[in-house]
Amino acid sequence: MGTQCDFTEEPMRKIGRWWCLVLLHNFPMPSDYRIERRREQNLLNKDDMEVPPTKAQCEDVIYINHK
């Protein structure tokens, strides 16, 4: 590198702000809206995990309804 570094108070503020922006850009903080949407999606996904009835169970229902 070969350059002289001058770490006075003023450049450290700029470096700190730059570093915060880098972190926020790479690891954004989720908003309340995004957190709520994620919760809703998780609840919906749990409903999708329900086991569908077997073919035999469906045939039993059809048979009972046609008596």
Whether 63 shows a pLDDT value over 60: the answer reads no
Domain count along the chain: 1
Structure tokens at 25: 């850009």
Whether 64 shows a pLDDT value over 60: the answer reads no
Looking at residue 22, what is its pLDDT? 93
In a domain, 3, yes or no: no
Q: Which domain holds residue 58?
A: 9-65
In a domain, 32, yes or no: yes
In a domain, 53, yes or no: yes
Looking at residue 12, what is its pLDDT? 84
In a domain, 50, yes or no: yes
The pLDDT of 39-66, averaged and rounded, is 69
Cα dihedral sign, 6-12-18-19 = positive
| pLDDT tens-digit map of 43-56 | 777 656 667 777 87
Separation CA 6–CA 10 (nearest Å): 10
